[in-house]
A and B are shown apart, each in its own frame.
Chain A
Amino acid sequence: MIAVEGVKMAQPQWIRMNREQAGRVLNQLSSRDDALVFSRDATEVAWRSLAFFSNYRLCRLTNYATMPTFTMTYLTDGTEYIALDGTANPIYTADEKDPLLLTEENVLPYIEFFFSHVQGSEGEVFLIRDPGKMPFLDSFTDAQQQGVMQNFKPVGVTFDAHRGAYRIEATLHYGGVLMSAAIIVMKDGKISFEDQHLLLSGIHFPDSPYGRNWIEG
Chain B
Amino acid sequence: MLQRIKGFEHTAEARKVEAEIENRHSGAALFSNEMPAPAQKQSPAAPCI
B interface residues with partner A (beta carbon < 8 Å) = 13, 16, 20-21, 23-24, 27-28, 30-31, 34-36, 42-49
A32 to B21, CA, bound (A): 31
Q: Which residues of A contact B (CB under 8 A)?
A: 16, 18-19, 26-27, 29-30, 32, 35-44, 62, 64-69, 213-215
What is the number of contacts between chain A and chain B, taking CB atoms within 8 Å? Answer: 70
* Pair B47/A39 contact, Cβ less than 8 Å: yes
Closest to B23 in A: A69
Nearest 8 pairs of A and B residues by beta carbon? A39-B45, A30-B49, A40-B48, A37-B47, A65-B45, A64-B28, A44-B31, A35-B49
Judged by DSSP, the binding face of A is: loop
Q: How far is the CA of A134 from the CA of B49 in the complex (A)?
A: 39
Contact A39 B48 (CB under 8 A): yes
Are B20 and A214 in contact, with the CB atoms below 8 A? yes
**Residues in chain B near residue A213, CB distance under 8 A:** 16
Chain A to chain B contacts (Cβ below 8 Å), 16 pairs: A18-B34, A19-B34, A27-B48, A27-B49, A30-B48, A37-B48, A40-B47, A40-B48, A41-B42, A42-B28, A42-B31, A42-B45, A68-B20, A69-B23, A215-B13, A215-B16
Q: Are B49 and A36 in contact (CB under 8 A)?
A: yes
B36 touches A41 (CB 8 A): yes
Measured CA separation A64–B35 after assembly (Å): 11
Q: How far is the CA of A213 from the CA of B21 in the complex (A)?
A: 13
Contact partners of A62 in chain B: CB under 8 A: 27, 31
Minimal beta-carbon separation of B6 from chain A (angstroms): 19
Bound-state Cα–Cα, A43 to B24, Å: 12
Residue numbers in A under 8 Å from B13 (CB-CB): 215
CA distance A35 to B36 in the complex (A): 25
- Least distance between A82 CB and chain B CB atoms (Å): 15
Closest approach, in angstroms, between the C-beta of B48 and any C-beta of chain A?
A: 4
Contact present for A67 and B24 (CB under 8 Å):
yes
Contact A38 B47 (CB under 8 A): yes
A44 contact set on B, CB distance < 8 A: 27, 31
Is B43 a contact of A66 with CB atoms below 8 Å? yes
Q: Which of these, B30, B43, B45, contacts A40 with CB under 8 Å?
A: B45
Q: Report Cα–Cα, A29/B49, bound state, in Å.
A: 6
Q: How far is the CA of A40 from the CA of B20 in the complex (A)?
A: 22
Q: Is the CB of B48 within 8 A of A26?
A: yes
Cα A65 to Cα B38 in complex, Å, equals 13
State the Cβ distance, A42 to closest chain B Cβ, in Å.
5
A104 to B: closest C-beta gap in Å: 37
